[in-house]
Copies of this chain bind each other. A is one copy, B any other.
Amino acid sequence: MLRVKILPDDKTIEVLDGETVFDACCRAGIMIQSACGGVGTCTKCVVRIKEGATAPSPHGVRNLSSTEIEQGYRLSCQLKVRNDLVVEIPPGSRFYGEQILTVGGAAAPETALDPSVRQYYCQLPQPEIHDQASDFDRLARALGAHAPDLVAGLDPLRELADALREKDFRVTATVSGRRLIRAEPGNTRGTAFGVAYDIGTTTVVGYLIDLTTGKELALASRSNPQAAFGHDVLARGDYADKGPQERRELQDLIVGCMQEIAAECCEKARTPIDHVYEVVFGGNTIMTHLVFALNPRHITVSPFTPIWSRAYKVPAHEIGLKLAPGATVYALPSVGGYVGGDITAGMLACDLDRREDLTLFVDVGTNGEILLGNRSRLISCAAPAGPAFEGAKISCGLRAMSGAIDKVSFSESEQDLDLHVIGHHPPRGVCGTGLIDAVATFLKTGMVDPGGRVLEPDEAREKLPEKLAGRVLPSENGSDLLLVPKAKTLERRRDLTLTQRDIRELQLAKGAIRAGVDMALKVWGVDGSQVSNVLIAGGFGNYINPAAAMAIGLFPPDITVDKLEFVGNSAAVGAKLCLVNRGQRARVERLAREVEYIELSGRKDFADVFMTAMLFPGYEGL
């Protein structure tokens, strides 16, 4: 056994000769990013060797710069351990799923173990001439009140006679709801597993759960492979509308991804995938339609109606997922076309329906979902923020990956911007959190006025410290604001700047979310001061700087920054709750029916609210 010490965790793992650092870390619960599935091409899993250097792999040589290789960077998926090592995992390589998992608190309420899938070991009386009950009736009799009104599909019936007789009528019955789905000879209790998925437009994460103990055994994630047909759901909706063939194609992609994740989790936890009996997922309404190969077209055009919005359970094989025989897929219910199963999952995770105090829940993303309420009433709306927060439509926008500027502040000592870059790369763009930070800083320093106008170079030289003024560059359309000069970027091809247009894109995005929040408060008849908590959810939301969010006016000024709470990947938590507890399903189904949905585009007052919401705090023109 060799030893690998992981920094900054300061954790030492025992590793078999030849095992990769990536696999060893995963096994130890230290999650590393990967988009290529460990074949050495995506470079997301890069780590740095601090002691015990090893030669770089061919993939490393091809995909990393020589400087990086000199500094000890290696692709962890290709880095086979041959001697003791000390390895540092750069922040940009760490898989965010882990952070989400540790968020806990508000986003992970305790729930009793009461899964839909259960296993019972029974010793049945053997048939004899005075007891000729059928095999199935014999089993049903033994299960009695544990599984009332038991039924069975053909597959378990076909194996039942042999299963009973192989070990003298000692048998383990796996039951899903009231349905017998498997009969195995002898005692095999403790071999029932499930996977809870958060199916995002961009990323899919799955968690393998032991349904006998409720314990989480492994997680795995993938980029959503449907991205090949468009980064946003609307583009995928267009493709899906072409015909059944295309819908099948998109379904195969997402289901293939779910299959890979399940397989990877099972491999990590050394559990057999043919004992995964149930899959639960939360996804937005369009993603949910695509998983089932339903045409989401009418969600994408007014009046935005889905085909189906309830919770849905089908045999896993009907969508092409190959798990245990009899395995089922449960999709969390949607409230409507733009408040989907990811959000109802979030409601569960955050106990929105059980809170006394008025709580605002916001999932910040391409589509901003907003919930407001407490145990007596919940209202919801969806704000079409667009992809600015994900870096799209921003001239130097980038997803939150290695090389992205993710934090921007004003350094008093330097009298200049202070930038933070994810990972070990030189900067190559700005991600959503960096964009919010940057604009907050521009507003604070006066580089951008509350109406959203960028200062002209002349004005800048008058009003700003020298270094800041030097960042205001003349351009054809207003001014550009320099973040990183060409020479210090990764590609060294052009300056990293934010343009006037980029600022306007951010205004549109934040304005949409803010308008949704304002409308929700208006419908409820309260102002922000009466809101006790603001829960910010979603993969992206977790990294927002609260002060910056307030500075750009993402929330009304009477919501104070101390009310902001980050609840992590609440969609995944909600899916896990539904996997381990049937009561949670009934609850989320009731919630999805009861939550009121406000269609913003259907309100005459929305245009006004939206106009105001796009402005930054301090604007006095209106």
Contacts and interface: CB of A to CB of B under 8 A. Distances in A.
Contact of A132 (B137, B293, B303, B307): B303
A134 B318 contact: no
Interface centre among A162, A307, A314, A601 (most CB of B within 10 A): A307
B303 A336 contact: no
Nearest to A313: B151
A135 B305 contact: yes
Contacts of A337: 132
**6 closest cross-chain pairs (CB), A and B:** A129-B602, A134-B309, A127-B305, A134-B306, A129-B303, A135-B307
Interface in A216-261: 244
Interface of A: 127-138, 152-154, 157-158, 160-162, 244, 292-295, 297-298, 302-310, 314, 318-319, 336-337, 597, 599, 601-602
13 contacts: A127-B303, A130-B599, A130-B602, A132-B337, A132-B597, A133-B305, A134-B308, A136-B310, A153-B314, A154-B318, A158-B293, A161-B307, A162-B295
A157 B135 CA distance: 36
Contacts of A294: 154, 157-158, 161
Contact of A161 (B162, B244, B295): B295
Nearest to A165: B298
A601 B134 contact: no
B132 A599 contact: yes
A605 to B, nearest CB: 14
Given A132-B336, A157-B308, 15 more contacts: A129-B303, A130-B602, A132-B305, A132-B597, A135-B305, A135-B306, A135-B307, A136-B307, A152-B308, A154-B294, A154-B319, A158-B293, A161-B297, A161-B298, A162-B295
Contacts of A131: 303
Contacts of A295: 158, 161-162
Identical chains in the assembly:
2
A544 to B, nearest CB: 30
A27 B158 CA distance: 41
Contacts of A128: 303
A129 B161 contact: no
Given A292-B157, A297-B161, A314-B153, A129 B302 contact: yes
Contacts of A602: 129-130
A337 B303 CA distance: 58
Contacts of A292: 154, 157
Contacts of A154: 292-294, 314, 318-319
A65 to B, nearest CB: 49
A158 B133 CA distance: 41
A133 B602 CA distance: 14
A331 to B, nearest CB: 11
Contacts of A162: 295
A308 B135 contact: yes
A223 to B, nearest CB: 26
Contacts of A137: 309-310
A484 B593 CA distance: 81
Contacts of A601: 129
Q: Which of A131, A132, A308, A318 has the most CB of B within 10 A?
A: A132
A129 B129 CA distance: 67
Nearest to A602: B129
Contacts of A152: 308
Nearest to A335: B132
A46 to B, nearest CB: 42
Contacts of A138: 305
Nearest to A318: B154
Counting chain B CB atoms within 10 Å of each CB, which of A129, A295, A314, A318 scores highest?
A129
A310 B154 CA distance: 13
A214 to B, nearest CB: 29
Contacts of A305: 127, 132-135, 138
B318 A132 contact: no
Given A135-B298, A298-B135, A307 B157 contact: yes
